[in-house]
Structure 1
Amino acid sequence: MTVPVPDFHVIIIGAGATGLSLAQGLKKVLLLYHDDEAYARRAGQWTMALHSSLPYLDSILPSDLRAKLNSTTTNPWAEPDPTIAAAIPFVNGATGELMAKIPMPSPKRVIRGKLRDLLRTGVEVRFGRRLTDIRVEDDGVIAVFDGEEVRGNVLVGADGVHSVVRGRLVDEDVAALQKPNILVLNAFPSFTREQALFIHGKSHPIVQLAPHPHQKTSIFSNVANVVDPGRPETWVFHYCLSIWTADDAPETAEERRALFKHYMSQYCEPYRSAGEWLSQATPIRAEKFHYWKNITRWRNFGGKVTLAGDAAHPMVPFTAQGLNTALEDVKRFLDAIVKVVYHGADMQTEMDAYDDSAYTRGKRDINLSVEQMHAYHHWEEIMTSPLMKGGYGALINSSPH
């Protein structure tokens, strides 16, 4: 019988969904993060799609947390009709005509902050730590935080798109991220009771997609938070307007609001009314996405350092795949660690296999997300894309990458 490796320690850098899922799977872990303020701010009102990765999450979480997963959804008060939820509407943004129902298997829409809070249950998170160095030794790895040293057998960088760990594992000439020709304007408005009911009646429980045929824009929308099912005026909606342009975001709040309302006014209902009813109290946030165009296989120093989630494969969010790819990383990493700790497998062999998978899947999904981003903003392309023909599964399976 193989004797388990005693006192095997994993250091996880990052306390987002990826890092916390790793911690739940490992149970005994040292988890570190560097910025309290940014941590609270980053979750905001954002939501995420869970679909193909649900079996991975189910296998990672203990039963008590699995039972609470629905509490993190955008509407924890009611389970959507599965037939409706699994068919994502794609509409003509100018006319409202339903162009397709895009299959998405067993989807849930979760609130990022709520999911993160659930995943933090029973996990020690050490805040206020800034990673300054990683040193690899024969018997493990040392993470240095402003002079404090922490030792472990393996270190996982789950520290997001702008990963510090990734910068230590790849050469500088390929580490740089790219910004695509996309400007994104986001609004999370609430409305009066009557307005909210009108908009909700024309919304989908998971997400609705609305590219515009006459301008290089697209809208991603959803009901972001049903705070109180009996008070529609408390419901929060999300409108993500993406514009194909190399321009930077307008500098002032007034300019961002004017640009957002201008484009929304050229859309069908309910977008036109949502833009018109937008209150002055609702901020319009602008951002530019980043992705790792030149993704390369990172060094893992004998299997002692690796990456997971957005740190491994930063992508643009146009295939609803980022969180799902990250959770597959988590499951594969945990499987590798179980083989090492409990079955005597060679660490470098197992981590090489994990890294190969994360890199291969990540490269595929980065390329697909960039292609789909271009298609969403060029009408003739989106109408013939694999997504339109067969849904998200067909999109992934169509990739030659």
Structure 2
Amino acid sequence: MPLFKKLLPEHVVDKLPEALCNPSLEFDEEAESLPVYNGETGDLLFKNKVPGARRVSRQRLRALLAKDLDESGTIRWGKRLAEFSQIDGEAGPVQLRFEDGSTYDADYVLGADGSSSKVRELLFNGDEVARVQLSGFMFATAIVKYGDAAKVEAVLKTHPVAAITMATNSVGGCGVMYAGEPNDLSDWTTMWVKIWRKSVAPLPEGVSAGQEALDYLKATTKGLAEPFQSMIDWSPDGSPCHIDEMKTWVPQPFDNRGGRITLAGDAAHPMLIYRGQGFQHAILDASQYLDALIKVNEGAGTKEHAIAAYDADMIERGAKAVRQSLQEAEFSMDPKTVHKMLMAREGHGRSV
């Protein structure tokens, strides 16, 4: 959180509570923890301390971070990158060309366009080596409004923010998504997730979202310890539900076009969603990239050297984190191996 706040204007930092899933929650030692339960017995396996951690709504946070940039006209919505070229040769600025035919000239380009990054594809000249790899682990999420205070209370009893369960060949989780009035739990929205091996329960062709996805998850998820099983079974028809296979890409050296173009976040090192590592490394990417640009602007180094140093660090730690996320997934699929997880041994601190 301190590094995240460092990157933001003070007036935006002051508004961060608006993005919290439960703004009225009093954060104490219990709220700043993450319990992990045995998905077969319901027993507590371990509980991580996560001091200062806050669960936020991605939608609310994105809106908060984009507000000033949007109002100033800085954001160009709906643009899809087609190609880039350098003006005046390798040393020159970059011209971005979009699918609608428009162009934009930039001194620097930071590709932060997600796991299937177009910037990454272009940096590698369309080579297959830039493509994300399927992990063999499926991820499902559902946003649920039970309309029943007792059912929401069952979620809160696992933990006031979020909880995880680990069973043979699957991982589950639950938490508060949008807290309504504190005295009316029936109006609250919660969420649950499930991770499982694709080989154990293959996804039927064409099923990825909506009611078909929800029906599939209800039919194939049986025997989880309570209340996790019931959270899935209780989900009302029509609840937003999505399923996808998680993807990874181990970062490797690339031509950054003389320090003009590089990558960050999921575009640089897409990983599985264990221990919050993706977000933590993305924030570190942003901070270190900013530091590199400041160094160049102040004349303390050339863009070639500053961005090369950024790339070297990002690639080394990103590659390690991606590999660790795959190992975490393997260990999480059986309560007998959970104790080997970094999550169990070291908690949620950044991996490197």
What TM-score, normalized to structure 1?
A: 0.79
Match of 2:275 among 316, 319, 329: 319
Give 1:272 deviation, angstroms. Answer: 2.6
Match of 1:277 among 227, 234, 238: 234
Which amino acid is the alignment partner of residue 143 of structure 2? Answer: F
Q: Distance in 2 between matches of 1:67 and 1:255?
A: 41
Note if contact 1:188-1:237 (Cα within 8 Å) is conserved in structure 2: yes
Which amino acid is the alignment partner of residue 287 of structure 2? Answer: K
- Residue 148 of structure 1 is matched in structure 2 by 102
Give 1:134 deviation, angstroms. Answer: 0.9
Give 1:233 deviation, angstroms. Answer: 1.9
Q: Distance in 1 between matches of 2:313 and 2:161?
A: 29
Give 1:344 deviation, angstroms. Answer: 4.5
- Residue 57 of structure 1 is matched in structure 2 by 4
- Residue 84 of structure 2 is matched in structure 1 by 134
Unaligned runs of 5+ in 2: none
Q: Distance in 1 between matches of 2:291 and 2:343?
A: 31
Pair 1:162 & 2:162 matched: no
Secondary structure in structure 2 of the residue aligned to 1:288: strand
Unaligned runs of 5+ in 1: 1-53
- Residue 332 of structure 1 is matched in structure 2 by 288
For residues 246-395 of structure 1, the aligned pairs below 5 Å read 246=199, 247-249=202-204, 251=206, 256-293=213-250, 295-393=251-349
Secondary structure in structure 1 of the residue aligned to 2:171: strand
- Residue 34 of structure 2 is matched in structure 1 by 88
Q: Distance in 2 between matches of 1:157 and 1:272?
A: 40
Pair 1:245 & 2:198 matched: yes
Secondary structure in structure 2 of the residue aligned to 1:85: coil
Which amino acid is the alignment partner of residue 241 of structure 2? Answer: I
What TM-score, normalized to structure 2?
A: 0.90
- The 1:197/1:304 distance shift into structure 2, 3 A limit, reads closer
Note if contact 1:189-1:282 (Cα within 8 Å) is conserved in structure 2: yes
Give 1:320 deviation, angstroms. Answer: 1.3
Secondary structure in structure 1 of the residue aligned to 2:347: helix
Give 1:251 deviation, angstroms. Answer: 3.8
Note if contact 1:196-1:235 (Cα within 8 Å) is conserved in structure 2: no
RMSD: 2.0
Q: Distance in 1 between matches of 2:348 and 2:150?
A: 32
The aligned length equals 339
- The 1:147/1:69 distance shift into structure 2, 3 A limit, reads same
- The 1:122/1:283 distance shift into structure 2, 3 A limit, reads closer
Secondary structure in structure 2 of the residue aligned to 1:199: helix
Q: Distance in 2 between matches of 1:240 and 1:216?
A: 14
Deviation track 1:107-132 (CA, whole Å, cap 9, x = no partner) reads: 11111111111111211211122211
Match of 2:163 among 199, 208, 221: 208
Give 1:263 deviation, angstroms. Answer: 4.9
Q: Distance in 1 between matches of 2:340 and 2:61?
A: 35
- Identity among equivalent positions (%) equals 26
- The 1:255/1:127 distance shift into structure 2, 3 A limit, reads closer
Which amino acid is the alignment partner of residue 90 of structure 1? Answer: V
